[in-house]
Homo-oligomer: A and B are copies of this chain.
């Protein structure tokens, strides 16, 4: 809708990948150097980008200034922190905290695992709902009608051989998730990793977010993964309590 703003935002995404020169940027987004220069100058004046030496541009400090304010808003993040940090410290596995945002999952927090297998995830990154444990948990928490609506609007990109690729299977999976109170991603997103996830609830039992543990398959087989479910659910419930959840703890099987 606003061309120059749009271009500026594209520039920011480009710079996120790597520091770039004016010419490189101009070529990549296919606009004249002078235009890019003007945009960069405006961005720079607000500290959204900074120059490195004479030619390179990098993302600036305003980004993490705004980001840390934006994150403080997300109360789940803070209230879940102790429980998740503890789980991470005790198990040494990678923990993600995620929320649902129009058709996708957004990672709101991440606790790096000790066995640092490079995982392509990051706070702020988005991922599909159909092939992630957190995605399943979040959608499973919605009203049946909404589930169907979402299930039918998805893209079902097959990330691995195990990825669910049609609405019917996805809805069936969601039923299971809703019944059991946790979700599994059996290498449906990335080939060498499987995950379990559980919901974090706030007042009135509304699901605010989902917490997951991601473990390389080489490190733990599927049965071993399932054995971790109780620990994860316990941590998620603990986080729920700190997030305003007052529902009964003896959840019906």
Contact = CB atoms under 8 A, between A and B. Distances in A.
Interface of A: 1-2, 4-6, 8-10, 12-13, 16-17, 19, 38-39, 41-43, 45-48, 50, 58-71, 73, 101, 106, 122-126
Contacts of A122: 65, 68-69
A59 B70 contact: yes
A65 B5 contact: no
Contact of A70 (B10, B43, B45, B58): B58
Given A61-B126, A124-B62, A38 B1 contact: yes
A123 B64 contact: yes
Given A38-B1, A50-B101, A61-B126, A12 B66 contact: yes
Given A63-B67, A63-B70, A124-B63, A9 B48 contact: yes
A9 B9 CA distance: 10
A71 B124 CA distance: 12
27 contacts: A1-B38, A1-B39, A2-B8, A2-B41, A5-B42, A6-B46, A8-B8, A9-B42, A9-B46, A9-B62, A13-B46, A13-B62, A16-B65, A16-B66, A47-B126, A58-B70, A61-B101, A63-B63, A63-B124, A64-B70, A65-B122, A65-B125, A66-B67, A66-B124, A68-B122, A68-B124, A69-B122
